Amino acid sequence: MTQFLPPNLLALFAPRDPIPYLPPLEKLPHEKHHNQPYCGIAPYIREFEDPRDAPPPTRAETREERMERKRREKIERRQQEVETELKMWDPHNDPNAQGDAFKTLFVARVNYDTTESKLRREFEVYGPIKRIHMVYSKRSGKPRGYAFIEYEHERDMHSAYKHADGKKIDGRRVLVDVERGRTVKGWRPRRLGGGLGGTRRGGADVNIRHSGRDDTSRYDERDRDRDRERERRERSRERDKERERRRSRSRDRRRRSRSRDKEERRRSRERSKDKDRERKRRSSRSRERARRERERKEELRGGGGGGGGDMAEPSEAGDAPPDDGPPGELGPDGPDGPEEKGRDRDRERRRSHRSERERRRDRDRDRDREHKRGERGSERGRDEARGGGGGGQDNGLEGLGNDGRDMYMESEGGDGYLAPENGYLMEAAPE
């Protein structure tokens, strides 16, 4: 396949010439034989220089020391410049200081956007103005923030000096003072270390916060008032916080009290419900007991009526029935006697577990029921007697017709009896 490639490509796959062998110039480090073994630096101690002849060590300057040194150098340079300019400063020969110095008013802290016409409108209210000189920067040409206003009359300058200090112009309160450069002996401007303000004297422990024409005591008093106001606000905030904490604690107490009251009401409702359930249970038990008593008495009366008229008279008179009665009769020795006795024993056992007050209440209730039941039985007997004698009431037998009456009359002969509750004809007990 390679025989079809051109010569220039075959030259790329051609092997290079072998590298010629050259003997090493010297032996390798591990092949060398050392005549002297390795040793320490003790033999070379004498070659060191004497410590007494060594130069003192140089101490490097720290960052704080370098900054302090630069600051001192800057202060010294500035002092030299101030001394040089102070020797050359002469306000009386200044070409920019023109007009009468005693009629000139100095206005500082002026807004940089305030124009000369705006200053003229604001200060013409005190008197006619002769000239306004606004100071601009020589390098940038922008206003420096102060100006000199020369009035035509000295009294107008005094009026502006008295009333215009602190006046707000374009959102800034200006400072008004007399021209002190030509009127006060020994006066120096701020750039030469003078001026009224003490905001540029040194550090924070030397400088004052305010500067102006008046004594700084009023500013100190203002600072004290401001500090007192700040302390008063802090105390008020603390009182508000304490009041809020007390309110929150009171709300928590009321919430807990409401929770306790709600829980107590819930428990009271549960107790009342339990009492109602217990009362209903007792009432149901008493009704069940009264029903069983009524059924037992009805059974006793029904058994006595099925035996004939001769057996009914002793039962009404209170005499005990004979021992040799029929086996179907529900007497004390009948087939249902042990069951009735068991129910009575259970009833007595349950009643013994109650309190004396409940037993007394149950006895009174049973007595009332027995009394009412006796009255109803007596009324029913009178009604039956009147029905048999042709009275207005016939115990519900009017709808039965003559056949029903005959059946009822036959039942009185011993074949059956009529139940007083519903008027149905019941069969007599088998003999």
* pLDDT tens figures, 377-406: 777 777 666 655 444 444 444 444 444 444
User: What mean pLDDT is reported for the chain?
Assistant: 76
The CA-atom distances, in angstroms, between 327 and each of 312, 409, 419 are 17, 26, 22
**Residue 333: which residues within 8 A CB-CB, separation 6 or more?**
323, 325
DSSP state of 173: E
- Flag whether pLDDT at 320 surpasses 60: no
The SS3 call for residue 405 is helix
The CA-atom distances, in angstroms, between 220 and each of 59, 164, 165, 195, 419 are 47, 22, 18, 18, 117
C-alpha to C-alpha distance for 358 and 283, rounded to whole angstroms: 12
User: pLDDT grade, residue 152 (50/70/90)?
Assistant: very high
Interval 227-284: pLDDT, tens: 888 888 898 989 999 988 888 888 888 888 888 888 888 888 888 888 888 888 888 8
Say what the pLDDT of residue 151 is: 94
- Flag whether pLDDT at 341 surpasses 70: no
Interval 80-126: pLDDT, tens: 998 898 888 888 888 778 888 899 999 999 999 999 999 999 999 99
Q: Which of 73-87, 176-190, 313-327 has the lowest mean pLDDT?
A: 313-327
Mean pLDDT value of segment 122-137: 92
